[in-house]
């Protein structure tokens, strides 16, 4: 019988791929933390490297039996670390949806900015934490 996940064995992880040319660190974190879902919170799931396009990340996650979802409604229109979603009502609905996923196990919020202190994913993680009372860890 499967056990129900508790806040003690769940995390909200944040990860920015920055200028990484491979998935090595990304895969290492997925394995180490037993991530159940990667949630891409970029406004547009594209990058300078096709490796970090949403479609390629989804294929890589599928190969590892990890769910991947793109949620542009949690993207950022400010261009800075302060989070201004494209539509506040949609962002709130998406946070509720993601909170249900986060209750099943560790999730990873994915964005482009390497440094979490310069990225809106920190604010998204804190809003999500209010809903699920789960610790946050920002990965390097």
For residue 115, the domain's CATH number is 3.40.1010.10
Other Cβ atoms closer than 10 A to 139: 17
Other Cβ atoms closer than 10 A to 44: 11
Residue 109 lies in a domain: yes
Count of structural domains within the chain:
1
What pLDDT shows up at residue 123?
95
Residue 1 lies in a domain: no
Residue 131: phi, psi to the nearest 5?
-85, -30
pTM for the predicted model, two decimal places: 0.90
Residue 127 lies in a domain: yes
Q: Which helix (H) or strand (E) holds 97?
A: helix 88-102
pLDDT digits (tens, 9 = 90+) for 10-58: 999 999 988 888 889 999 999 999 999 999 999 887 676 666 888 899 9
Residue 16 lies in a domain: yes
Domain that holds residue 32: 8-138
Residue 82 lies in a domain: yes
Q: Which helix (H) or strand (E) holds 37?
A: strand 37-40
* Among the ranges given (4-8, 24-28, 105-109), the one the predictor scored with the smallest mean pLDDT: 4-8
Q: What is the C-alpha separation between 110 and 26, in angstroms, rounded? A: 10
Residue 25 lies in a domain: yes
């Amino acid at each position: 019988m499967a056990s129900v996940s508790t806040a003690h064995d769940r995390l909200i992880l944040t990860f920015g791929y920055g200028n990484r040319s491979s998935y090595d660190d990304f895969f290492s974190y997925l394995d180490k933390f037993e991530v159940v879902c990667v949630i891409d919170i970029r406004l547009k799931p594209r990058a300078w490297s096709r490796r970090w396009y949403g479609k390629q990340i989804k294929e890589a996650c599928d190969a590892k039996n990890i769910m991947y979802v793109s949620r542009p409604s949690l993207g950022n229109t400010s261009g800075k670390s302060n989070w201004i979603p494209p539509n506040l009502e949609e962002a709130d609905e998406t946070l509720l949806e993601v909170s249900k996923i986060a209750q099943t196990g560790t999730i990873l919020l994915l964005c482009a900015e390497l440094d979490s202190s310069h990225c809106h994913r920190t604010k998204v993680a804190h809003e999500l934490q209010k809903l699920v009372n789960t610790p946050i860890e920002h990965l390097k």
